[in-house]
Amino acid sequence: MKDILQEFDLLKENPGAGTGTTWLECGGEILESVSPIDGQILGRVRQASGANYDEVAVRASTAFEEWRMVPAPKRGDIVRQIGNAVRTRKQELSTMLSLEVGKIRPEAEGEVQEMIDMCDFAVGQSRMLYGLSMHSERPRHRMYEQYHPLGPIGVITAFNFPVAVWAWNAMIGLIAGDTVVWKPSSKAALTALATAKIIGHVLHENDLPEGILNVVIGSRDEVGEKLIADRRLPLISATGSVAMGRRVGQVVASRLGKSLLELGGNNAVIVSSKADLDLAVRAILFGAVGTAGQRCTSIRRIIAHKEIFNPLTEALIEAYKQLVIGNPLENGVLVGPLIDAEAVENMQRALEEIKSQGGRVLYGGEILSGGIYDVGTYVTPCICEVSNDCPIVQEETFAPILYMIPYETLEEAIQYHNDVPQGLSSAIFTTDLRESEIFLSHLGSDCGIANVNIGTSGAEIGGAFGGEKDTGGGRESGSDAWKIYMRRQTCTINWSREMPLAQGIEFGIE
């Protein structure tokens, strides 16, 4: 295999701002991309300065003037080509992603597939930017609504889904006629640059103006703060922690911009006494341990009926014992490293708190050592028994810690379920129709995503993705999420020779 940097024409040191085909002379600090797999430096990025950010924003604004005039289905055709270009580079891009953020190969490939699927979805959507038409209350008047391109938009993404979540926003933004300024996580900088290169090439080959898709890697203070405060960007879509989202939401609201926030989850699964336990164990394993517990949709809490609490816990411990933890690029490994030493520290701190709050660690939680493990990013996924009133249950720790919480009645289970600040994804395992319908009703889950007999993670792109409460309220990806990327306009046309007013108002000089 060629060196992964060469695969994407990346250098040992790369400028952190550009369009994929042209790059700026960057003036920020050097960022090292360190693989969580073995601590090796994969490459370096010269980050953007505040002045570089401005150059990017000017390019995105200028390119918007042209891009918005390309007919939407033609924009869709460009996105089709982007999808095809990513298809041909799926292997290399997933390898880059695994190396940089530590995802196991099947999940890295799944993520790149999610980006490809998003392109396909956006191509279809480009011919379906529908507005309604209404019957006017005035004679010989016509009313309808239409959707116009919005402008250059800002997209801030997290390390754990460095390309898929960006594609949710960027591909829909593109077909909507927007240009995109992408600020990826500094922990996934090279993956972002590689992606920008693949896509930049497609745009260039189609003789499109530079600046339709831009990437800008930089610090929060120099770049992040400027981007969210930038009045040229009518929409900021941000994925990350609740603290980050609160800041983005406040700054964007203070300039009356639109924000689309996809923040923390603290997702629970209710396992009823009438559940198919075999299904539940398989789903919980993927949901709690997949991506080493670093998805916003990861399962963090199991609310289990007391009758099946013990057998379920035992089955999960048995399954956890069989997990192969190690180099995510190797076949058979199911758990890779956490993103960095800080994530491991946070996990350890949470485990201390669990114990001090009366919880018990039933399995796992150790930092592994020896061989590849010596890099300090590998941990054993952990199962804890806690009571629902432990304060730690309210928090999302971005690590593979699973809380087992017993319940007696479904009402109590739902109360526990909803009793956290976050509201992203949720599930119930039951074969009882009444229980599942209660869970899906207004009495049930208060989350943006609610599932029956499947886990909380691994959502398909076709639905709108996002959550309530501290999760931020945004919706991305499928369904009608495209609307936020466009400017809605209601139009009324008078084709009569009269000037009637709405609500029957008479106003005029005799």
The catalytic residue positions are: 262, 296
Between CA 161 and CA 239 the distance in angstroms is: 9
Closest approach of Cβ 89 to ligand UN1, in Å? 20
Nearer to ligand UN1, 40 or 479 (CB): 479
Determine the Cα–Cα distance for residues 90 and 111; give it in Å rounded to an integer. 10
Least gap, CB of 248 to ligand UN1 (angstroms):
15
Beta-carbon contacts of 158 under 8 Å, excluding residues fewer than 6 positions away, are 165, 185, 239, 240, 296
* CB of residue 20 to ligand UN1, shortest distance in Å: 23
Provide the sign of the torsion angle of the four alpha carbons 336, 365, 394, 220, taken in this order.
negative
- The residue among 321, 156, 296 whose CA lies nearest residue 230 is 156
Rank residues 63 and 335 by Cβ distance to ligand UN1 and give the closer one: 335
Q: In the bound complex, which residue of the shown chain has the CB atom lying closest to ligand UN1?
A: 459
CA distance 115 to 166: 8
Of 210 and 262, CB closest to ligand UN1: 262
Rounded Cα distance, 444 and 410, in Å: 10
Give me the residues that bind ligand UN1 (CB under 6 A), please: 114, 160-161, 165, 239, 295-297, 457-459
Indicate the residue among 295 and 301 with the shorter CB distance to ligand UN1. 295
User: Between 151 and 336, whose beta carbon lies closer to ligand UN1?
Assistant: 336
Least CB distance from residue 318 to ligand UN1, whole Å?
Answer: 25
Q: Which is nearer to ligand UN1, 376 or 463 (CB)?
A: 463
What is the 3 state secondary structure string of 48-73? Answer: CCHHHHHHHHHHHHHHHHHHCCCCHH
Q: Which residues have C-beta within 8 Å of that of residue 277, sequence separation ≥ 6?
A: 271, 308, 311, 312, 315, 429
| Shortest CB 296 distance to ligand UN1, Å | 4
Query: Which residues on adjacent β-strands are paired with residue 299?
Result: 267
DSSP state of 473: S
Question: Would you state the torsion angle of the CA atoms of residues 210, 93, 290, 184, taken in this order, to the nearest 10 degrees?
Answer: -30
Indicate the pairing of strand 13-15 with strand 179-183.
unpaired
Neighbours of 143 (CB within 10 A): 15
Which amino acid is located at 407 in the chain?
Answer: Y
- The CB-of-121 to ligand UN1 minimum distance in angstroms stands at 13
What's the closest the beta carbon of residue 28 comes to ligand UN1, in angstroms? 26
**Largest Cα–Cα distance of the chain, in whole Å?**
94
**Cβ proximity to ligand UN1, 151 vs 466, nearer residue:** 466
The sheet with strand 425-429 has its strands ordered as: 360-363, 382-385, 401-407, 299-305, 267-271, 425-429, 449-452
Contact yes or no for 32/230 (Cβ under 8 A):
no
Nearer to ligand UN1 (CB atom), residue 52 or residue 186: 186
Q: Which residue has the tokens 């396909």?
A: 120
| Strand intervals (E) in 72-195 | 133-135, 141-149, 152-156, 179-183
